[in-house]
Amino acid sequence: MKRIYRTYEDTEVSVLSTQVKCPYCGEEWLEEDKDECGKTYILTCDDEFDDGCGKQFEMSFDAS
Ligand SMILES: [Zn+2]
């Protein structure tokens, strides 16, 4: 079996994280894979692990 070698120099960021902010309580966190242009995402302000309020809100992602 052949083997390849990679180092940290071969890595790149494959997941783009989007910084979001809850419009209700102002809690901020990072969402991964929520970067499709023109799409509206339903996010929940997490109150299980963070200090979020548990409310849902929409986030629309645009390139501009
Ligand atoms: Zn919130």
Read off the pLDDT of residues 2-23 as tens digits, 9 standing for 90 and up: 998 999 898 887 888 899 999 9
**49: DSSP letter:** S
CA distance 42 to 31: 11
Q: How far is the CA of 63 from the centre of ligand 1 (A)?
A: 24
CA distance 12 to 3: 20
With bands split at pLDDT 50, 70 and 90, how would you rate the model's confidence at 46?
confident
Q: How far is the CA of 12 from the centre of ligand 1 (A)?
A: 32
CA distance 10 to 54: 39
Q: How many CB atoms lie within 10 A of CB 55?
A: 14
Instruction: Please name every residue paired with 45 in a beta bridge, in sequence order, or none if there are none.
Output: none
pTM score over 0.75: no
Q: How far is the CA of 38 from the centre of ligand 1 (A)?
A: 23
